[in-house]
Amino acid sequence: MSYFKTGTGRRVLVTGSAGFAAPGIIKELLEAGYWVTTSDRELDPNSPGRHIVADLCNFGEVTELVEGFDTIVHLAATRMAGVRPASATFENNMISTYNIFRAASMMGVRRVIWASSCGIMGSPMGDISETGWASGVLRPEARAVPTKLPYVEEDDPRPMTTYHTSKVMCEWLAKQTQLWGTDTTFVSLRYGNMCYPEMYEEFRYSWAHPEARFYHLWNYVDMRDAAQACRLAIEADIKGAQEYFITAEDTFMNVPSRDLVKQYFPGATVNNELAEYGTLLSIDKARRELGYAPKYSWRNVMELD
């Protein structure tokens, strides 16, 4: 297999290259000197180098696709609940990720980094934003009302949609694949709500309506920091199957985090080390093991009202 040389360094395949997150991540990898090949279901005229059209739900295609790469950045997925029927979302996300994990293990790929979601921790709300369920309302015991914050990776996920369920099951699949004896390392990046800088102004609505976004604990991550985390996950000295929350250091709210918890989750205890506006999804593990250090915050470019 030949490669379009875009730099010096390890060979990286990025799936889902036409998606929301891919451009920023590809840019980060190219600037760091990686050889990047992209893949999606359609031709991508914006690809910076070689682009391969592939159906990730076809195991034979995936096996050919991943051959010769050192690292796979797996971004391809139905990216949220509600945009497709629930069964289609689950089928696409599970089969494509299984195929990537299995083919990577068979073909000797060193590492797979893939996009999970902070949303797997669930929601204290009672609605389900997707089709395919009888009532569309969660039973009270399914609502994920936090009892301690910030969440850490060891806390049990409480997915509320098939989209989030697929992410949880893919994390389990990564662990199980490790037990089957592969040398491939799997890194799940539990991304917060990804934002490009031009999207920061949208936060003002939540300042007036905090309940509109409290289901994700008001988290966000600048796309440049999301890209940094992906590169660091390629380079870090880690093994096995790992998960990391990846958010900004702060929430997108103009109210201190403890005040938000007190108002919306009065029964929850709060870690004494939580910063005034600190994220409610701990990024300490990513700091320690990946060297993750988010650089960007809306507070540096917007004025508080």
Domains and CATH numbers, the chain: 11-298 (3.40.50.720)
The answer to whether the beta carbons of residues 94 and 168 sit under 8 Å apart is: no
pLDDT tens, position by position, 70-79: 999 999 998 7
- Cα–Cα distance between 26 and 18 in angstroms, integer? 11
- Name 273's Cβ contacts closer than 8 Å, sequence gap at least 6: none
Q: What number of CA atoms fall less than 13 Å from residue 295's CA on the CB side?
A: 9
Nearest to 196 by CA among 224, 173, 218: 224
| pTM for the whole structure | 0.92
pLDDT tens, position by position, 37-87: 999 999 888 788 899 999 999 999 999 999 999 999 999 998 777 778 888
